Amino acid sequence: MARAILDEGVFLADEINGIIKDSIDEAIVSSQFNHDKVTHWTNGIAEVCMKRLTNLAKPFKYIVTCVIMQKNGAGMITATSCFWDRDTDGSRTIRWENKSMYVIVTVFGIAI
């Protein structure tokens, strides 16, 4: 995990958490799972996250992933692995859910 200090060249986890949560809330609002809207939602969440991340104007390259899964009792396991500078780079994963779906968003930030 990256250090939570005020430094332009460090991935600030708390700041990224807020961006992810706000992006999910904006895209999904109070919607229920709808297969026809999943592509729109995943693209929207990723695009809004990326826009907000780049608006931070920090020296990072970002990668955003978004998975939406219907709550139907099926299992899902995810994993990530990274080789980077722990002092500057970082990642955050947020799992959001409502009665009908799970949303999992991961942001990777790699210092330039």
CATH number of the domain at 53, please: 3.30.1140.40
In a domain, 21, yes or no: yes
pLDDT at 23 over 90: yes
Whether 46 maps to a domain, the answer reads yes
pTM: 0.88
Parent domain of 32: 13-111
Q: Does the residue 3 lie in any domain?
A: no
Average the pLDDT over 81-98 and give the result. 93
Task: Strand 90-97: give its sheet, edge to edge.
Answer: 60-70, 101-111, 90-97
Q: Give the helix ranges, DSSP H, for the chain.
A: 13-28, 38-55
Q: Report which DSSP code applies to 106.
A: E
Instruction: Work out the pLDDT band at 10, boundaries 50, 70, 90.
Output: confident
Total number of domains in the chain: 1
